[in-house]
Amino acid sequence: MGSLGGSGLASFSESTHLVKFTFDEIKEATRNFSRDNMIGKGGYGNVYKGYLPDGSEVAFKRFKNCSAAGDANFTHEVEVIASVRHVNLVALRGYCTATPTTPLEGHQRIIVCDLMKNGSLHDHLFDSMERRLSWPLRQKIALGTARGLAYLHYGAQPAIIHRDIKASNILLDEKFEAKVADFGLAKFTPEGMTHLSTRVAGTKGYVAPEYALYGQLTERSDVYSFGVVLLEMLSGKKALTMSDDNQPSLVADWAWSLVRNGKTLDVIEDGMPELGPPEVLEKYVLIAVLCSHPELLCRPSMDQVVKMLETDISVHSIPERPIPLVAPISDIEKSISSNGSSQLSSSAGYRTFTYESSHHSTSKEEGISSGFFE
């Protein structure tokens, strides 16, 4: 495998520790983007592994269908992302923008990130070759992911909405510390704006309904996606599956149905190693169901999620879900409020499903502030 030569370090930024690499340097490091060096691919392009001059192994994300026209915005976004540092975020090492002399190669945009030794959460949950994650490791990964997202929402300036949280974008280092990855789809929230109306990007099964249906993007769109990932971790089931008769099924709908019918622990994957206490497992399921609620105002913030995961706070009540998220479109249209709101709601509003009879939230607003947990 190739390694980057020293010349790339000449374009070094002391403020962000961000390196601007040449295209030739990256070609050398990836052995001309060899198939043997490819470690992943997605809608944005392919990912390759290679080495920096200091011997550290890194990942090169090569975007496809690029043009030089957007390089200024791309560079600005990369610089902002590189300034965001947190133990639960994948660190950005550098980038490349270039137009090769060979026309067939096209314009290039590449970012360079730390390479995670243990791959992605998706690998460990759904790759039959991987040993199943123990409950303590799943707890650790859930909390690390929540902390990383909370930092993007409330620690970064400006705030960053990820837009594509999914199991394959949660990477695991040698100690199974979670690292939120792939900021290629991230959007920055301008001050004073509560949401961004934008072209929908993301992955089916993980995308919040208000974002999928109306392009309304807020931090709580990420909360929904986190809830789905947490359900995948708890159940071992994928976010979206197709039944034998080719009907879609969401893990969020399935889990809600079990919780609503008093079968919360049935969500937990059979045979999970080192299974935790029932009361802790129940709490995690309820947090996941609350985060993946179809009504954005019923979801907690990521700060609240971190607090729930870190402490003994219990989830006592969850607002009722009006319809399954994969309901017929006629049912969805009926659920949209007559005033043109883009929130999914029922004509009667949300009743609260009280998990424990000792506590009851009387309103949606009260539930967000204190009614879901104590």
> In CATH, what number is assigned to the domain containing residue 160?
1.10.510.10
Tokens 């879901």 correspond to 372
Residue 139 lies in a domain: yes
Q: Are residues 219 and 239 in the same domain?
A: yes
Highest mean pLDDT among 90-99, 131-140, 191-200, 337-346: 131-140
Domain count of the fold of the chain: 2
Does 168 score more than 60 pLDDT? yes
Catalytic site residue from 114, 164, 182, 222: 164
Can you tell me the mean pLDDT for 289-312?
96
pLDDT at 55 (0 to 100): 83
Q: Does 1 fall in a domain?
A: no
Q: Is the domain of 32 the same as that of 48? A: yes
Q: Which residues, other chains included, contact 371 with Cβ-Cβ below 8 Å and sequence gap of 6+? A: 316, 317, 352, 359, 360, 361, 362, 363
Q: Please tell me which residue, 352 or 66, carries the higher pLDDT value.
A: 66
Q: Are residues 336 and 220 in the same domain?
A: yes
Q: Dump strand ranges (E) for the chain.
A: 19-20, 38-42, 45-51, 57-63, 92-98, 108-114, 160-161, 170-172, 178-180, 187-188, 196-197, 216-217, 240-242, 248-250, 317-319, 352-354
Cα–Cα dist 37/2, whole Å:
10
Calculate what percentage of the chain has a pLDDT beyond 90: 52
61 is in an annotated binding site: yes
**pLDDT value at residue 324:** 56
The pLDDT of 9-31, averaged and rounded, is 74
* Residues 288, 192 share a domain: yes
Say whether both 127 and 171 belong to one domain. yes
Residue at a domain's end among 114, 141, 168: 114
Q: Which domain holds residue 21?
A: 6-114
Residues forming beta bridges with residue 197, ordered by sequence position = 216
Worst-scoring range by mean pLDDT, 15-19, 183-187, 210-214, 273-277?
Answer: 183-187
> From the centroid of its chain, how far is CA 69?
29
Give mean pLDDT, residues 278-299: 96
Q: Give, in order, the Cα–Cα distances in Å from 238 to each of 42, 234, 269, 277.
A: 17, 11, 12, 24
More confident residue, 69 or 258: 258
Of 114, 133, 151, the last residue of a domain is 114
Mean of pLDDT values over 155-172: 92
Cβ-count burial of 112 within 10 angstroms (0-12 exposed, 13-18 middle, 19+ buried)?
Answer: buried
| Domain co-membership, 48 together with 104 | yes
Do 97 and 239 belong together in one domain? Answer: no
Measured between alpha carbons, how far is 60 from 77 in angstroms, rounded to an integer?
Answer: 17
Average pLDDT of the residues of the chain: 80
Q: What is the CATH number of the domain that holds 99?
A: 3.30.200.20
CA 224 to chain centre: 9
pLDDT at 270: 95
Q: What is the DSSP letter of 70?
A: G
pTM for this entry: 0.80
Q: Are residues 100 and 131 in the same domain?
A: no
346 and 323 housed in the same domain: yes
- Residue 164 catalytic? yes
The reply to whether 187 and 329 lie within a common domain is: yes
Q: How far is CA 20 from CA 25, 56, 216, in A?
A: 10, 17, 34
The answer on pLDDT for 299 being more than 80 is yes
